[in-house]
Amino acid sequence: MTITTLSLMVVGVDYQNQRGPARRFEVELCAPGDPVELVPEPKNPVDPHAIKVMSERGVQLGYLTAERAPWIGSQMSSGADVRAIFQAISGKSAIIRVTLDGSDPVLPPPPLPREPEPVESFDDGSGFYPDYIPPDD
């Protein structure tokens, strides 16, 4: 099965840009669906496979992860028509949606709401009731 659409993490959003607005500030300005550009940085002193992510305003948001950048870079250098849009903010990173076949990326549907798990009754006759601890998501 050929992968043509995927979501990728953008890391380094809390670092400062050398010039212009801070990355975090620029990420906060991005709306889901805004176009972003992927720019290979073969002369990057830390990682020759680095791919920086730029907003539609030309401000760097961060980098693709070191695990994904070599593969995406190889797709780009082999002629794949890579297109990307901003998807969401996720804690200390951002998420972009990428297509490799020249089609315009589309945001994935939002996740379905989860039903809350039933709370078990606890009554051992002592009058003590422990605090509810929600499950980890």
Q: What is the pLDDT of residues 64-108, one digit of tens each?
A: 999 999 999 999 999 999 999 999 999 999 999 999 999 999 999
Q: What is the largest CA-CA distance in the chain?
A: 71
Residue 101's DSSP bridge partners are: 81
Q: Which residues pair with 6 in a beta bridge?
A: 98
* pLDDT, greater one: 120 or 52: 52
Predicted structure pTM score: 0.79
In the chain the domains, ranked by start, together with CATH numbers, are 5-96 (3.30.70.2330)
Average pLDDT over the chain reads 90
> Locate tokens 């939002």: which residue?
110
Q: Is the predicted pLDDT of residue 136 greater than 90, yes or no?
A: no
Cα–Cα distance between 36 and 112 in angstroms, integer?
27
In this model, does residue 38 exceed pLDDT 70? yes
Contact 62, 52 (CB under 8 A): yes
- Detail the DSSP E strand segments found in the chain: 5-11, 35-40, 51-54, 60-64, 83-90, 93-99
Q: How sure is the predictor about 127, in pLDDT bands with cuts at 50, 70 and 90?
A: low
DSSP category for residue 133: -
CA distance 106 to 40: 23
Q: Please count the other Cβ atoms lying within 10 Å of the Cβ belonging to residue 35.
A: 15
CB atoms within 10 A of CB 114: 8
pLDDT at residue 120, as a whole number: 64
